[in-house]
């Protein structure tokens, strides 16, 4: 298990590191590429395998508050984008009104279920703030989305950590999991690149 020595070296700082990584992925769009699910599942599995090295009772609240605070910061950034001088060029008033109408009608399920889509989830709080989605509504559905996201990821990782096969092939399984989790982001990036290279006929 190649990654265990690193976790043991960090000691209690591993929780701080994980908090920062999840916060960066959810709160700052420039770090949307960070593997949130992989981190949650991987460390939860490691908690089941080692017990003394990582504590699932600490991991879960660390992930929860990191994602919750990150999304809230991201929302606030979006809500204040209109202060930038070039904002109206990027998002004219008529498009902003359409975005606001969409998030008032479908914002709840978008915020809640969009959290399960890698890469996209980092942009949803930002767009919610930009579209001036009702703050209380955003907080409610974001709370539910984060709660489900962390609970499912941590439970899944901790559950698989109970199997001998996982214990014996942990590093390989983690690499495969990271690659699988990266597929949606890679597909979306390639799609945008290809669409940008195709000139209208």
- Looking at the chain, the whole-number percentage of residues with pLDDT higher than 90 is 29
pTM of the model: 0.78
Q: Both tokens of residue 78?
A: 């979006």
Asked whether 157 and 45 are in contact (CB, 8 A), the reply is: yes
Number of domains the chain contains? 1
Q: Would the pLDDT of 122 be above 80? A: yes
CA 120 vs. chain centroid, Å, equals 8
- Of 77-86, 125-134, 140-149, the least confident: 77-86
pLDDT tens digit sequence for 154-201:
998 888 877 766 666 666 766 676 666 666 666 666 666 676 554 444
Range of the domain at 138: 4-197
The enclosing H or E element of 6 equals: helix 4-10
């Amino acid at each position: 298990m190649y990654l265990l020595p690193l976790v043991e070296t960090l000691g209690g700082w591993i929780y701080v590191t994980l908090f920062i990584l999840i916060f960066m992925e959810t709160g700052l769009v420039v770090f949307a590429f960070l593997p949130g699910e992989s981190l949650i599942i991987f460390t939860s599995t490691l908690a089941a395998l080692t017990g003394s090295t990582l504590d699932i009772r600490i991991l879960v609240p660390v992930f929860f508050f990191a994602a919750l605070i990150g999304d809230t910061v991201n929302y606030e950034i979006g809500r204040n984008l209109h202060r930038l001088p070039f904002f109206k060029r990027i998002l004219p008033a008529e498009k902003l009104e359409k975005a606001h109408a969409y998030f008032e009608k479908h914002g709840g399920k978008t915020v809640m279920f969009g959290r399960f889509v890698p890469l996209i989830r980092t942009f949803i709080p930002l767009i919610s703030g930009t579209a001036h989605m009702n703050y209380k509504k955003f907080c409610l559905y974001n709370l539910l989305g984060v709660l489900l996201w962390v609970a499912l990821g941590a439970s899944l990782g901790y559950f698989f950590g109970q199997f001998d096969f996982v214990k014996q092939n942990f590093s390989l399984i983690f690499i495969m999991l990271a690659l699988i989790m990266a597929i949606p982001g890679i597909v979306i990036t390639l799609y945008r690149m290809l669409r940008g290279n195709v000139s209208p006929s």
